[in-house]
Amino acid sequence: MNTSVRMIIVLTVIAVLAGGILSTWDGITRPKIAQHRLEELKAAIAEVLPAYDYYDQVEAGETTFYIGRRNNVEAPVGIAFKAEGSGFQGKITMMVGLKPDFETLTGIKVLEQIETPGLGNKISVDPSNKENPYWFAEQFRGVQTAPEITVVKNRKPTKNTEIEAISGATISSRAVVRILNETIRKAKQLYLINRNRDGNRNG
Amino acid sequence: MAKKNVSLSAEFLKGIWNENPILRSLLGLCPTLAVTNSAINGLAMGLATIFVLVSSSILISLFRKRIPHQVRIASYVVVIATFVTLADRYMAAYYPVISKALGPYVPLIVVNCIILGRQEAFSSKNGVGRSILDALGMGTGFIMVLLVLGSVREILGSASLFNFTILGDWFHPWMIMILPPGAFLTLGLLIGLANWYNEKRGIV
Residues in chain B with CB shorter than 8 Å from the CB of A28 are: 93
User: How far does the CA of residue A38 sit from the closest CA of chain B (Å)?
Assistant: 12
- What contacts 24+ positions apart, CB below 8 Å, involve A67-75? A75/A100
Which of B61, B65, B64 has its CA nearest to residue B130? B61
Given pLDDT bands bounded at 50, 70 and 90, which one contains residue A202? very low
**Within 10 A of B160 (CB to CB), how many other CB atoms are there?**
16
Beta bridge pairs of residue A85: A92
| pLDDT, tens digit, 9 for 90 and up, residues A45-103 | 999 999 999 999 988 888 899 999 999 888 899 999 999 999 998 899 999 999 999 99
What is the helix (H) or strand (E) element at residue B182, kind and residue range? helix B180-201
State the 10-residue block means of pLDDT for chain B, 204 residues long.
Answer: 72 90 90 88 92 95 91 93 95 90 85 92 93 95 94 90 83 85 94 93 76
Cβ atoms of residues A175 and A85 within 8 Å: yes
A10, A118, A119: residue with CB nearest B68: A10
B82, B94, B158: residue with CB nearest A21: B82
Phi, psi for residue A15 in degrees, rounded to 5: -65, -40
Best of A3, A35, A36, A91 to substitute, by most chain B Cβ atoms within 10 angstroms, is A36
Which of A48, A83, A50, A42 has its CA nearest to residue A64? A83
- A-B contacts at Cβ under 8 angstroms: 60
Cβ atoms of residues B22 and B145 within 8 Å: yes
User: How far does the CA of residue B178 sit from the closest CA of chain A (Å)?
Assistant: 7
Beta bridge pairs of residue B91: none
Residues in chain B with CB shorter than 8 Å from the CB of A6 are: 68
Distance from C-alpha of A169 to C-alpha of A115, rounded to nearest angstrom: 9
Distance from C-alpha of B46 to C-alpha of B31, rounded to nearest angstrom: 9
Cβ atoms of residues A83 and A75 within 8 Å: no
Cβ atoms of residues B173 and B159 within 8 Å: yes
Asked if the bond preceding A117 is cis, omega within 30° of 0, the reply is no
Task: Please give the torsion angle defined by the CA atoms of residues B44, B47, B48 and B52, in that order, rounded to the nearest 10 degrees.
Answer: 170
> Is B198 in CB contact (< 8 Å) with chain A?
no
Tell me what pLDDT residue B168 has.
78
Q: Please, which residues 87-116 of chain B have a Cβ atom closer than 8 Å to chain A?
A: 89-90, 92-94, 96, 103
Q: How many residues are there in chain B?
A: 204
Amino acid, res. B35: V
Tell me what pLDDT residue B133 has.
95
- State the average pLDDT over residues A166-170: 90
Given pLDDT bands bounded at 50, 70 and 90, which one contains residue A139? very high
Distance from C-alpha of A173 to C-alpha of A187, rounded to nearest angstrom: 21
Beta bridge pairs of residue A95: A82, A109
Distance from C-alpha of A84 to C-alpha of A175, rounded to nearest angstrom: 10
What ipTM was reported for this prediction?
0.78
Q: What is the mean pLDDT of chain A?
A: 90
Percent of chain A at pLDDT above 90? 65
- State the average pLDDT over residues A135-159: 91
Q: Please, which residues 168-187 of chain B have a Cβ atom closer than 8 Å to chain A?
A: 173, 175, 178-179
Residues of chain A with a CB closer than 8 angstroms to some CB in chain B: 3, 6-7, 10-11, 14-15, 18, 21-22, 25-26, 28-29, 32-33, 36, 114, 116-119, 127-128
